[in-house]
Structure 1
Amino acid sequence: MQILAALLEQRTGQQIAANREWRIETALKPVLRERGLDTLDQLAGEIIGGTDPLVADQVVDALLNQESSFFRDAAVLDMVGAAIQEMRAQSPTRNVRVWSAGCSMGQEPLSLAMLFAEQVETHGGRMPEIVATDVSEAALARARIGRFSQFEIQRGLPIRRMMRWFDADGGDWAAKPELVRQISFRRLNLVADPLPVGKFDVVLCRNVLLYLSPTLRRQVLDRLASVMRPGGLLVLGAGETVIGQTEAFQPAPEHRGLYEMIAG
């Protein structure tokens, strides 16, 4: 378990607490079955042996927490939508840019794309540019396809939006191509990889910092700040905060629960 947990931390910066080591065995059962192995020791041996470089990728993908749903914390996304509307009103020609960092299988950026597209239909204007990144190539492969099971589609997605933006395909649901095309997906390790070029107005990085050490949290927050416009908004998970972590952000005075990039 130490070898496997260390692999995850080396590749992504994420840590598994000692009291959650049970998750390693649970998450890796499908990998063991696929490879015809009986124990985690055998799996660790394959990683150390280096005979198949893909086994390490499989292990890391399996250990990442890809829990997500459509319109997760819907009130927060509505607040993001309202902030985007204010930005458009202040500068109608502005190219608003939004980054979903740690996008998992795409539910968050697709939720944003639906929300923004509906705003454009109602109020006019341009669609914001949406960039979505994740450290897992396997999760991104699913996100780019935009295909979800009945169980996944029912988690947080109202029937009205499901019928408007998805097509039934066998037992699954596929996001309409014009919706998926609004999102630029790319693999990115928040800890180590070069960040997207340009400045963002809104960055959503929800429930990612929870798994990082305090030192890495500060580094990631400062890296996010480096690609945000002054006054831009940072959206974290309900259990996350910038307080005591960085001087780059402050609680947003007009958007309760969000954080504002400090100019200068």
Structure 2
Amino acid sequence: MDLGDVSLRFIADLLAERTGQQLTEGRVWRVGTALSGIFRKRGISNVEQLVCLLDQAEEKALADEVVEALLNNETYFFRDPAYFKVLAELILPTLRRARAGKRKLKIWSAGCSTGQEVLSLAMVFAEQQEQWADWSIEILGTDISGQAIDTARRGRYSQFEIQRGLGVNRMLNFFEETEQGWLSTDRVSRLVRFNRHNVLDQTPSSGPFDLVMCRNVLLYFDAATRERAFRRLHEGLSPDGWLMLGAGETVVGQTRQFQIEPGVGGIYRPVPQEGPAFGAPHEPSSETGAALPNSVEGKREFTVP
């Protein structure tokens, strides 16, 4: 299959319209596999037949199924461990000093998929419990996929999922083994809430946030859509907040709304907006916090006891 095919282009346009994501040539290979379950369920054998069904006005539910199937929900616990090292050793200590008066933090994981990133965040706080005594911590995870959010809310993971990124100690400290899989315990689940949300829509009302993680989401957008997403992320951040992007994402040449945090890959700070949002990022301020070496790469309110 290729994007020159009329039926495949129909599917690509549907995905872009509903989510903003682009079905690029590099993602075409997985379309057949992603839609195979729908093919079996509907008794059809190819994309052309699927498009014929989608063209019927009463098949709105089918369109939802197709979009869900095409979304990439790949994730695992503590993905890119170096980022979590930066989080624990640079970002959270800086925020703890900056918010010492209010003793309250708000964090947003945009594009959280099935919840592993959000629970990884919660584990970091649980492991630093003494440092966050009497703090109010709010962690919000959002994703455009309703199925992914349902999984995240259940907080239950298979043996395969739980072993991806977690050592034995964290598995036993933060999860309980059941017949249906590994269930997150109250130590972490009480810190988090999950809502369905598109990063291109108005930012969650519980903001502004002190930290926004939006990793491996923007790479599926074209330039114009990324610009729109950056605006939303900027709107959702506190003026002195932090933005964490994925390893393959950057603000360079994409937006003027964020500046690079010196010496730390994938970490950015918001810039007050006085001009056009698009273009090269501003030069970093000399007043940014200490940097680590390059080699280190819905809302629930919780008060740490």
2:111 is the counterpart of 1:105: no
2:198 is the counterpart of 1:160: no
Q: Quick one: structure 1 residues 19 and 251, their matched pair in 2 at CA, closer, same or farther if it must change by over 3 Å? A: closer
| Residue in structure 2 matched with residue 230 of structure 1 by the alignment | 239
| Residue in structure 1 matched with residue 93 of structure 2 by the alignment | 85
Structure 2 letter corresponding to 1:211: Y
2:192 is the counterpart of 1:190: no
| Residue in structure 1 matched with residue 21 of structure 2 by the alignment | 14
Instruction: Give the SS at the match of 1:115.
Output: helix
After TM superposition, give the deviation of residue 178 of structure 1 in Å: 4.5
Contact persistence 2:261–2:268 (CA under 8 A): yes
- Of 27, 39, 50, the residue aligned with 1:43 is 50
- Of 197, 207, 217, the residue aligned with 1:208 is 217
Identical aligned residues as a percent = 44
After TM superposition, give the deviation of residue 36 of structure 1 in Å: 2.4
CA displacement, residues 82-114 of structure 1 (integer Å, 9 cap, x when unaligned): 311221133323321111000000010011011
| Residue in structure 2 matched with residue 126 of structure 1 by the alignment | 135
Unaligned runs of 5+ in 2: 1-7, 274-305
After TM superposition, give the deviation of residue 21 of structure 1 in Å: 1.3
CA distance in 2, matches of 1:151, 1:104: 16
Structure 1 letter corresponding to 2:92: I
Give the length in aligned residue pairs. 263
CA distance in 1, matches of 2:41, 2:75: 25
Structure 2 letter corresponding to 1:136: S
Higher Rg:
2
2:58 is the counterpart of 1:58: no
Contact persistence 2:123–2:188 (CA under 8 A): yes
Structure 1 letter corresponding to 2:182: W
| Residue in structure 1 matched with residue 80 of structure 2 by the alignment | 73
Structure 1 letter corresponding to 2:61: L
Q: Quick one: structure 1 residues 141 and 123, their matched pair in 2 at CA, closer, same or farther if it must change by over 3 Å? A: closer
Contact persistence 1:84–1:96 (CA under 8 A): no
CA distance in 2, matches of 1:19, 1:119: 41
CA distance in 1, matches of 2:70, 2:130: 40
- Of 255, 270, 293, the residue aligned with 1:246 is 255
> TM-score of the superposition, structure 1-length normalised?
0.94
After TM superposition, give the deviation of residue 134 of structure 1 in Å: 0.3
4+ runs of 1 displaced by more than 6 Å? none
| Residue in structure 2 matched with residue 25 of structure 1 by the alignment | 32
| Residue in structure 1 matched with residue 9 of structure 2 by the alignment | 2
After TM superposition, give the deviation of residue 208 of structure 1 in Å: 0.6
CA distance in 1, matches of 2:199, 2:165: 27
Unaligned runs of 5+ in 1: none
> TM-score of the superposition, structure 2-length normalised?
0.82
1 or 2, which has the higher helix percentage? 1
CA distance in 2, matches of 1:70, 1:55: 31
| Superposition CA RMSD, Å | 1.7
Instruction: Give the SS at the match of 2:259.
Output: strand
CA displacement, residues 189-242 of structure 1 (integer Å, 9 cap, x when unaligned): 112x22112211111110111010101111111111012111211111111100
After TM superposition, give the deviation of residue 263 of structure 1 in Å: 3.6
Contact persistence 2:249–2:266 (CA under 8 A): no
CA distance in 1, matches of 2:88, 2:49: 49
CA displacement, residues 125-150 of structure 1 (integer Å, 9 cap, x when unaligned): 42521111000001100000011111
CA distance in 1, matches of 2:36, 2:247: 30
